[in-house]
Structure 1
Amino acid sequence: MSIVSSDVGGTPGFELPLRLFLGFRVLIDDLHAELARQGHPDVRPMHGFVFQAIGPTGTTAAELGRTLGVSKQAAAKTVDGLERLGYVRRAADPSDARRKTVQLTERGVDCLVRSARIFDELRERWARTLGEERLDAMEEDLRKVTPREVFRLDVPGWFGGQ
């Protein structure tokens, strides 16, 4: 029995966000288990947001923090860890020698490429379980109730409350 009840009957409203988050968590956990098997055991869920925010041309720690919704210090700390792991490197900014940019290394790009392939495989697994039509319908329904912008990279800051 739940401590919180619903006056509308049926499934309580709070279950929807929990089920959506649980689906996200299952996909991310499965992704990271496979990434570990493929040579990337140290990558964490936040790192995917960081890699996307760095992008193909690189960024500064301050810009990275703004994009992720975290402080410059938090972004720099994350970059330090990823640099030690070989996923990013710092380089002089070609437009301003006083600034450093953060860029993905070959290892970082490899991790992103593998992640994309693994997500495709995970989607195929869900399609086998649910049926392709039901999965397509679920995705279409989610598009109707969520913003068009798929890549909200500020999720780390949103979860962290910063």
Structure 2
Amino acid sequence: MTRAGADLALLLLAGFRTFADRGAEALARRGFDDVRPTHDFALRAIAAGADNPSELARRLTVTRQAAAKTIAVLEERRYIDRRPDPSDGRRLRLTITARGDELMRAGDAVFAELRAGWEAQVGSVRIGEAEEALRALVGDGVISVDSPDWSTRDLDS
């Protein structure tokens, strides 16, 4: 019995995990030592319009309780805040703070640097080919940075 399929799945997961872990380490060196990948997913969902707990839960495909926990962590760490909705004063909207914007910009820069490092290691052509192959296999439409599904653990660490 061959394990080629399982080994490929593990290799893809290890690639993601390596990229995410190195990204978290680089962000920590830039002063963002309190974030995890799930926090980035949530911030990007909020930036894309998920401005309340129910919508954030829907976009992250988690329970409303899990979304509320993520919101509490991000708010405590000053990455988001809640502001009155101009059209309905009873409603509070989730908004990204200046610190949250700074984190997202730093994250974009870190991942660009990580990609450049991988390109230096194996060549930009090979990285481009790997990216094209993955895009052909999974399609462009499934890449959604605000829908992590299974990777929403470690919300309070």
Query: Normalization by structure 2: what TM-score?
Result: 0.90
- The aligned residue for residue 90 of structure 1 is 82
- The aligned residue for residue 67 of structure 1 is 59
Q: Offset of 1:159 from its aligned partner?
A: 4.4
Larger Cα-atom Rg: 1
The verdict on how the C-alpha distance between 1:144 and 1:57 changes in structure 2, with shifts beyond 3 A counting, is closer
Asked whether 1:21 is paired with 2:13, we answer yes
| Structure 2: 5+ residue stretches without partners | 153-157
Q: How does 1:110-121 map to 2 (within 5 A)?
A: 110-121=102-113
Looking at structure 1, the residues matched to 91 and 137 of structure 2 have their Cα atoms a distance apart, in angstroms, of 41
Match of 1:145 among 120, 137, 148: 137
Looking at structure 1, the residues matched to 90 and 38 of structure 2 have their Cα atoms a distance apart, in angstroms, of 28
Identity of paired residues, percent? 37
Does the residue aligned with 1:154 lie in a helix, a strand or coil? coil
- The aligned residue for residue 51 of structure 1 is 43
Contact 2:44 2:145 in 1 (8 A): no
Q: Offset of 1:100 from its aligned partner?
A: 1.2
What's the RMSD between the two structures over aligned residues?
A: 1.8
| Structure 1: 5+ residue stretches without partners | none
Q: Offset of 1:153 from its aligned partner?
A: 2.6
- The aligned residue for residue 32 of structure 2 is 40
The verdict on how the C-alpha distance between 1:83 and 1:72 changes in structure 2, with shifts beyond 3 A counting, is same
Match of 1:99 among 76, 79, 91: 91
Match of 1:135 among 112, 127, 142: 127
Most deviating of 43-52 and 53-62: 53-62
Corresponding letter in the other structure for 1:88: I
Contact 2:50 2:59 in 1 (8 A): no
Query: Normalization by structure 1: what TM-score?
Result: 0.87
Looking at structure 2, the residues matched to 56 and 138 of structure 1 have their Cα atoms a distance apart, in angstroms, of 28
Contact 1:58 1:104 in 2 (8 A): no
Looking at structure 2, the residues matched to 152 and 111 of structure 1 have their Cα atoms a distance apart, in angstroms, of 15
Higher relative contact order (CA 8 A, sep 6+): 2
Looking at structure 2, the residues matched to 58 and 73 of structure 1 have their Cα atoms a distance apart, in angstroms, of 15
Does the residue aligned with 1:101 lie in a helix, a strand or coil? strand
Aligned length: 152
Q: Offset of 1:74 from its aligned partner?
A: 1.2
Does the residue aligned with 1:42 lie in a helix, a strand or coil? coil
